[in-house]
Structure 1
Amino acid sequence: MPPPLILLPGLKSDHRVWQPQIDRLGRRCEVIVPVAALDSGSIAGMAAAVLAAAPARFALAGCSMGGYVALEVMRLAPERVERLVLVSTSARPENPATTPLRHAALALARRDGVGAMAAAGLDRDFHHAHRYDLRLAALMVAMAESVGLDAITRQVDAVIARPDARPMLASISCPTAVIVGEQDQVTPPDCSLELAAGITGSTLSMIPDCGHCAPLEAPRRVTEVLQMWMDE
């Protein structure tokens, strides 16, 4: 029996960012998406909340901000994680050039609502082949509205202040898969190349015609990688 699988969404997202994977993998194991644990002003606080609610041992997958949290979980309690997947994420600290963009997005959310913030980010979130998919656009807006401005503000603060996780990559010894869209503008492929190079024995899957939201843009491929990773 596979271990319980914890899926961590990204910034301004909820369980629906993983829905294609939940639908398939939920037939094989217990799937947990601890959205409430990601309402914190620090990555360490999020990781502590995930661990407090988690089973004794589990498999762990994090997308974008969820990947930052997953790496912090690995730092805090590596003995509890049987397998790790890092999707569309990075071990690097905040790029100072990105911080003003985050503050501008929050200002837009305060003025026009978090739905407007989510809609304004679609060009960066998606590959152009998916940018005008009305279903995906509506989903991104709905998730942001569900998370809410207060929680998103705390998440942005946490992402800006996140630690540099690169020094601890070599300590990760569980089976690890790294997944990234070839056209990811938010955490470009070189971030995933760095993750894969730093984690001994990890695998790297680069998905063509895919941006930052790989679980939604390439659901079949992401699910296939997760299934193979669970079967190792």
Structure 2
Amino acid sequence: MTEWPKIEQPREKLRALGAAALNDAELLAIFLRVGVKGKSAVALAQDLLHHFGSLPRLLACTPEELTRIHGMGISKWSQIQAAYELVKRSLEEKLSENSIFSSPRCVREFLQAKCGKLPHEVFLCLHLDSRLHLIECQELFRGSLTHTAVYPREILKEALSRNASALIVAHNHPSGNPLPSEADQELTNMLSKALQLVDIPLLDHCIVSGSGFFSFSDAGLMNNDIN
């Protein structure tokens, strides 16, 4: 890679043009730093993306899966995971500083980063204060590939314990299809009615997949009025 023109080397390209100008393989190559015999860091990164099929799948891989690949050790896996965790924490901090209505894109990116790549279902609650800033993102339930048991009583209890003024709930579809099922719609209606009893509006129910996102609010399927 050092034989390439400097502007084509990932680090130099990043300095000259900014991170957005780099493709996935080039960004990944910066973390890998070096390739293996006969293969540059960029070529190795391309092989990794091809092996796992997508960037989300690579980010979700276990240490065992990554270290089976020639040239990849536990330190490389750790570096990638640490960088990804920083991204998630940065997005969460933005939500705690600004109203969720001022950064809907950030909400989507945060939820996709938080659970979009998981191989199992999780159910998240975003507890919001009176200014609609994030108090805490809490994982309440975890399930199998196709089902998560959700208990409204637990959701109400946790929201009240945090003095939440509003709530957004979210879960992921590991199958890849973010469209809501009939059970998802029934759960949304049930939660909305239950939360109304304690004056905590349910602002949205988001369904996330590795490459997709569905918002009940955006689809006009619930009332977002906090008053």
TM-score range, shorter chain: under 0.3
Tell me: higher relative CO, structure 1 or 2? Use CA pairs within 8 A at least 6 residues apart. 1
Higher fraction of helix: 1
Structure with max Cα Rg: 2
